[in-house]
Structure 1
């Protein structure tokens, strides 16, 4: 039949007439999801509104969470090493307070990749870095309300933890349906220096 069915979202990266000239195949842009291809063929290679609709449901957003958690273990390991070294010099590495003071770090690494996609439509702001920062700030405030720390330590957590959540939220931009490459680059260019400054200050 010499007909090539491509996904609808592949259109920006494929020139149909060039592909036809070089391969001899007629290019047709099909539905968004591969699961709809049989129905697309049955309809005479015509897509209805449902096939053309791009969704971003809770289930779809949470599908990438396990990947983000696996990729974030290096951050948790680095935080653990730095925390252990600091506590070693302080002479209380095996103290109970040392464990409690470390808990926010793996906590924020779990909270960031999970709650940002889960609550995405409800978190104020459009930039993912802002959404992640707000989630991280809320989580840090809740933690500090439950566990009492000296003022300087509390300020340190407020400066350090929200940027971690914001950075992890940036990784989610590639899985969203409404971000662009240029927009993501601009977001990273303006936000990354601020995140680094805040984290170093913390």
Structure 2
């Protein structure tokens, strides 16, 4: 598929169904693009579709099946949008660091594909707003889904969830307690963590 350069072509691209309940259009909105008049459109639509479908099918759909509707806060970023976000310090990593993350249509330095979305799980936030409660959801995802990385934020327990061909299985947080919750090699990485997430679903 060629990069959309007309309204009709972009409309058709937005209609691509990535999974049973998600379409490409769901992931194309960008505050940075909207404010700065940029088009948030992939240079390689086929790669964006392939990576985005994996993110939706393997992570977002199971999360939504378990907890009800999830809200997409930000997801796909074009190189142009992400580059400006990094330059203006809008909490965007460099294009190289965001390849196979928010830049779905750019493979990382190892040639792997991946895709990231920042999401909120409203039903979880509405029920668990205690200090450090984000860890309950983090451990549920760790025990149930094939994620690569998670990064949690304080507001609404929003988090970046990444699907990647070579999953790292690492969880970090800007929410209290700010730390690496787990990663391969840590004593808490293996086994069940049901004592943390029991009762949240």
* Bucket of the pairwise TM-score, normalised by the shorter protein: under 0.3
Bigger proportion of residues as helix: 1
TM-score, normalization by structure 2: 0.27
TM-score, normalization by structure 1: 0.26
Bigger proportion of residues as strand: 2
Larger of the two Rg values belongs to structure = 1
